[in-house]
Amino acid sequence: MTVRLYNTLTKKREEFIPIEEGKVGIYVCGITAYDVCHIGHARSAVVFDVIYRYLKYKGYDITYVKNFTDVDDKIIGKAIAEGTDIGEIAERYIREHNEDMDRLGVARPTAAPRATESIKGMIRLIETLMEKGLAYVVDGDVYYSVEKFSGYGKLSGRSLDDMMAGARIDIDEKKKNPFDFVLWKSSKEGEPWWSSPWGKGRPGWHIECSVMSQRFLGDTFDIHGGGEDLIFPHHENEIAQSEGATGKPFAKYWIHNGFIKIDSEKMSKSLGNTLTIKEILDAYHPEVVRFFILQRHYKSYIDFSDGAMAEARGGMERVYTALKGIKDALGGGESVSDLSEKDLSGEDKTAFEKVHTLPVRFTEAMDDDFNTPMALGYIFDTVRIINGYLPRDGAQPGGGTLFVLQDARERIREVGKVLGLFLEEPDDYFTKSQEREVSKRGLDVEEVERLIDERKQAREAKNWARADEIRDLLAARGIVLKDTPASTTWKIE
């Protein structure tokens, strides 16, 4: 089965056919290293991480490039403000970024080049554009002449005439056309610079991606991705630069992820409602964050709120509760059943067939434009089967049951690995989750446990009134108790 994906360039869902059979080259625009990453970066990272892992799961030999922009106005501004150089600023935020990604369980790309490592290539590319008459020089700045590139606007679906009609940009007298964009910028006093045929200067923003994608993936490659805000002008300009220079098609498929809103508002620095990845991870388990993101199709916007996160947490718990049930039934052993599939019959056989085909359904969903919400739905279907199949308290499960449960766990792990979910030991997951909730709510754990202990004694004395009173007291603080024959455990609702 082949993957079908929505291509921003054609505005259609298309069959994914790699340029070279079995191989995939993917380039995703990374961050500008001038500030800590927010939840929007997390979404983009998680979405493309899952696409990367899925294509790998499908057996493709994949080269995944995600760049760092380490020279730009904002970085320069920050360096000047702090009296340091751009290298130090970039280094700091790249390190922070990598830390955030590691915590989110985002795999490192095959290559993570920095713009400043490819300055020579950028100069060469700009020279080619000059030779082809696609660029012009004004006072040491080099501009791209959009009118000279006939395909300009094909990605964002607008013509230059449309853009002119609705132009809202400042007229810059240096430019021949208001949509011309800078390829090379002359440096002002105190700014970093590189020498070039046009004098001391630095690259414009778009040129780096044209150069680094070409360097790692060639003139034409399979997939180019990024946030939807990059469609115009960034990706449009990349196409103009690359196709203008090589005369060949640039990326074959373009994938763009949707934005995150916060409490139904657009997240932006001016509104002051940005949430950093660090803040989110202090409050929620990384897998809850991934689950929250993957619960919606990557192209739609997501509305972040505490309520939505609480729901995501609830969903995660459902899966981990089932995994815990399996673990308890297996008695902690990894491989306790030495049966094989053909030894199964009746109920065991039926359950096995349902559970064992999870990866097939998962693949169907993912092949359909990476439909992670549907993929998660199939995982929940599997969870229901497991829960209904788990031995009741105290019952001794038979060999067939163990075999099925073991397989169920394997299959959930198999697809979970692609999504970056359900990879923890259930006990660890619950412990970490609980610690976060406790610290978030400022609960006094010792007092909680003292009350539980008091309730235990009341229960032993069959003083149900006092036992219930304590439970209600704890419930008022969001603590839910669970009595098992052996002990009482508690969790945050």
> What part of residues 445-484 is at the interface with RNA (CB under 7 A)?
459, 464, 467-468, 471, 480-484
Beta strands in 19-152 (DSSP E): 23-28, 61-66, 135-138, 141-144
Among 10, 147, 380, 478, binds RNA (CB under 7 A): 380
Task: Sketch the per residue contact string, 291 through 330, with RNA: x for CB under 7 A, - otherwise.
Answer: ----xxx--xxxx----x--x--xx--x--xx--------
* Residue 52 identity: Y
Candidates 110-118, 150-158, 188-196, 424-432: pick the segment binding RNA (CB under 7 A): 150-158
CB of 314 to RNA, least distance (A): 4
Tokens for 173, please give them: 């007298």
Candidates 35-43, 51-59, 84-92, 408-416: pick the segment binding RNA (CB under 7 A): 35-43
Total residues binding RNA (CB under 7 A): 76
Q: Which of residues 166 and 272 has its CB atom nearest to RNA in the complex?
A: 166
CB of 315 to RNA, least distance (A): 3
**Using rule CB under 7 A, residue 331 touches RNA:** no
Query: At a CB cut-off of 8 Å and minimum separation 6, what does 10 contact?
Result: none
Strand order in the sheet with 302-304: 265-266, 260-262, 302-304
Q: Are 45 and 292 in contact (CB under 8 A)?
A: no
Candidates 101-109, 252-260, 278-286, 429-437: pick the segment binding RNA (CB under 7 A): 252-260
Q: Are 186 and 201 in contact (CB under 8 A)?
A: yes
From residue 120, give the alpha-carbon distance in Å to each of 115, 116, 117, 262, 313: 10, 9, 8, 41, 48
CB of 111 to RNA, least distance (A): 18
Candidates 14-22, 166-174, 211-219, 420-428: pick the segment binding RNA (CB under 7 A): 166-174
CB of 7 to RNA, least distance (A): 13
Q: Are 281 and 46 in contact (CB under 8 A)?
A: no
Candidates 128-136, 222-230, 238-246, 407-415: pick the segment binding RNA (CB under 7 A): 222-230
Burial of 218 (0-12, 13-18, 19+ CB in 10 A): middle
Q: Which of residues 125 and 322 has its CB atom nearest to RNA in the complex?
A: 322
Among 18, 26, 36, 40, binds RNA (CB under 7 A): 40
- Strand duo 23-28 + 221-227: pairing: parallel
Q: What is the C-alpha to C-alpha distance for residues 64 and 302, in angstroms, rounded to an integer?
A: 25
CB of 30 to RNA, least distance (A): 7
